[in-house]
Structure 1
Amino acid sequence: MSFDYGIIGRRIKKAREKKGLTQERLAEELDVSNAYISKIERGKTPISLDRLSDLCFVLEKSTEYILNGSNNTADDYLRNEIMIMLEGCSPEKVKLISQVIKPIIELDHK
């Protein structure tokens, strides 16, 4: 199984921001450097399992959410995954994606 560290990093950043933590504060909590947190959030470096466990504890998120975008209680994890992917897209790409999925969605409503 391979992971998209860019998406994982975006989930970590979103969880950190939702918790109201700066990169600096999260780095202090985990006893790592700010640069390390930045690299993880940008998907430039993988996170070790030990570090992931500590990070999930601090951010109060499950490892399932950080790695897969799903929670045990969330049935619509794919919807969340799509939303996270869209966050990194330019307005032009969002418009293109909309043009692609609109006909698919309309098939269900006919």
Structure 2
Amino acid sequence: MSFDYSIIGYRIKKAREDKGITQETLAESMDVSNAYISKIERGRTPVNLDNLDKICTVLETTTDYILRGTSTTNDEYMRNEIIDMLEGCSPEKIKLIANVIKPIIDYKG
């Protein structure tokens, strides 16, 4: 199994920002350097399992969310995953996606 460390880093950064925690605070709680957290969040260095566990504990998130972008412990996980997928899409792609999902949303079956 292969992981995209830039996506993992993005999810860690998003979870950290959602909790209102700075990189420095996260680094201190894990007894690592601020530069290490920065490298993880930018996808420049892989995070080992021990540190991933520490990150998830501090940020009160799951490894499922960090590694795969899903967390069934959160009722809004799929909505948030869709929103994350839309980030960085061009306006043309967003319009295409909207045209595809509108009939599904409007379906009364």
Cα deviation for residue 45 of structure 1 reads 1.0
Distance 2:90 2:7 in 1: 17
Amino acid aligned to 2:65: Y
* Counterpart contact for 1:7–1:84, Cα < 8 Å: no
* Counterpart contact for 1:10–1:84, Cα < 8 Å: no
TM-score normalized with structure 1 length = 0.81
Distance 1:20 1:53 in 2: 19
Which residue in the other structure is 1:43 paired with? 43
Cα deviation for residue 71 of structure 1 reads 1.1
**Is 55-64 or 69-78 further displaced after alignment?**
69-78
TM-score normalized with structure 2 length = 0.82
**Is 6-15 or 77-86 further displaced after alignment?**
77-86
CA 1:22–1:96: 2 relative to 1, 3 Å: same
CA 1:72–1:102: 2 relative to 1, 3 Å: closer
Cα deviation for residue 41 of structure 1 reads 0.7
Which residue in the other structure is 1:82 paired with? 82
Give the secondary-structure state (helix, strand or coil) at the position aligned to 1:15: helix
Cα deviation for residue 79 of structure 1 reads 4.0
Structure 1: runs of 5+ lacking an equivalent? none
Give the secondary-structure state (helix, strand or coil) at the position aligned to 2:90: helix
Q: Percent identity, please.
A: 58
Which residue in the other structure is 2:100 paired with? 104
CA 1:24–1:84: 2 relative to 1, 3 Å: same
The answer to whether the aligner puts 1:73 opposite 2:73 as a matched pair is: yes
Distance 2:6 2:92 in 1: 21
Aligned length: 106
Q: CA RMSD in A?
A: 1.9
Distance 2:103 2:51 in 1: 44
CA displacement 1:18-37 (0-9 Å, x = unmatched): 11111111111111111110
